[in-house]
Amino acid sequence: MDSDIRQWLDYLADEIEALLTSHRLDVLVTGVQLSPRWARFKLQVGPGTRISSIQNVSEELALVVEAPQIRLTRGSGALVLEMPLPDPQPVHLLNLLLDVPLLTPVTAVLGLSIEGEPYILPLMAPEVTHVLIAGSTGCGKTELLRSLILSLALYNRQAHCQLALIDPKRRGFTPLEGLPHLLAPIASSTEEAQALLEQVVKEMERRDAENAPATPRIIVAVDEVGDLITTGGKEIEALLVRLAQRGREAGFHLICSTQRPSADAVPSALKANLPARLIGRVASGQEALTAAGIPGTNAELLVGSGDFVAVVGAQVTRFQAAYTSLPDVQAIMAQLTADAMPDSELGIEEPVYAAIDETYEWWDRQL
């Protein structure tokens, strides 16, 4: 850690302790953890000191650390004060992949957890299967969805994993046109989306009827599912619900993003079958509850631009979503379409592909 940053963090730790002492609260800062987006101060709370008393001075704490807001959470047996960094750095997907271990099949790389570890999502896990991504404009839903898709394409051969993409906004998936894993061209109009969903559901029903193998796994990703249902009506809604209800055993996974997770945008029959939730910034605690399905995620306190919480099973995980710039997308597309190591000017480090090759080899041994 840079010495100037260390001095700054030490100064903030002293300020936190001084403020709490002035309120007669027995609290010591025992450590600090730095991520690209957050600084996390570990607080040791003395006997008789109530956590609620510390929460009552959260606005004053934000003032002394010069942050727009702070967040107090409990973890690893301690109280943690989180503050956003004044100059946050993006988590680039390709850089993150250097630290990703061997991945099991159909596992997506989502970003960096607040503990500093790569955060991954195994779609074949029973508590995942289908995913809802929710949050207001600017929270980073589309960027997260795009990085999720690209990580799946990088770590899974076309024979094992295929993609069906629906993009009503005609913006989110445009850079992915021509991806070799695509089951069909990216659907943008309502008519194209309905035809693609009918094709997917028909294949799902065939596999069910014939007890056919659930391969290749097919990922159906919809950017702004609320818009699609609004324009497509009951026909589109029925296809999505059927896919969510019946897709798992046949090897289908549905990933939907939406600005509004309310019932008028995402029908209850669909949302109930999307068990894994990735929640970005929302406007209120009620919206956080609606999106996550459980209380206490504090998604209303997220700061946007890739700041997310994941709700998988009973576990809530804070993470910074991976970002893939347009040059990085182009480099990945070049690698996947050429099926060869890219030239050095594409900017992808060879260890990334060494790790991907190792996953390929592991995949082949399992199959």
358: pLDDT confidence band, cut at 50, 70 and 90?
low
Stronger pLDDT, 165 or 332, i.e. the higher one: 165
278: pLDDT confidence band, cut at 50, 70 and 90?
very high
| pLDDT value of position 335 | 80
Q: Is 90 exceeded by the pLDDT of residue 145? A: yes
- The residue-averaged pLDDT of 233-241 equals 95
212: pLDDT confidence band, cut at 50, 70 and 90?
very high
Q: In this predicted model, what pLDDT tens digit does every residue of 14-73 receive, in sequence order?
A: 999 999 999 999 999 999 988 888 888 999 999 989 999 999 999 999 999 998 888 888
- The residue-averaged pLDDT of 279-286 equals 92
237: pLDDT confidence band, cut at 50, 70 and 90?
very high
217 CA to centre of own chain: 20
242: pLDDT confidence band, cut at 50, 70 and 90?
very high
252: pLDDT confidence band, cut at 50, 70 and 90?
very high
261: pLDDT confidence band, cut at 50, 70 and 90?
confident
| pLDDT value of position 365 | 62
Q: Which long-range contacts (CB under 8 A, 24 or more apart) does 39-42 make?
A: 39/9, 39/12, 39/82, 39/83, 39/85, 40/80, 40/81, 40/82, 40/114, 41/12, 41/13, 41/16, 41/80, 41/81, 41/82, 41/83, 42/78, 42/79, 42/80
Stronger pLDDT, 161 or 361, i.e. the higher one: 161
CB neighbours of 153 closer than 8 A, spacing ≥ 6?
A: 161, 163, 179, 180, 181, 332, 336
Tokens of 237: 């809604």
CB neighbours of 349 closer than 8 A, spacing ≥ 6?
A: 94, 98
- The residue-averaged pLDDT of 168-183 equals 90
Q: Is 70 exceeded by the pLDDT of residue 367? A: no
| pLDDT value of position 340 | 40
| pLDDT value of position 343 | 41
257 φ, ψ (degrees, to nearest 5): -115, 150
CB neighbours of 166 closer than 8 A, spacing ≥ 6?
A: 186, 187, 188, 192, 193, 196, 197, 220, 221, 222, 223, 228
Going along the chain from its start, the domains and CATH numbers come out as 3-84 (3.30.980.40), 91-366 (3.40.50.300)
| pLDDT value of position 120 | 96
Lowest-confidence range among 8-12, 37-41, 353-357?
353-357
Residue 224 — left, alpha, or beta (φ > 0 → left; ψ -120 to 50 → alpha)?
A: left
Q: Is 60 exceeded by the pLDDT of residue 347? A: no
- The residue-averaged pLDDT of 105-131 equals 93
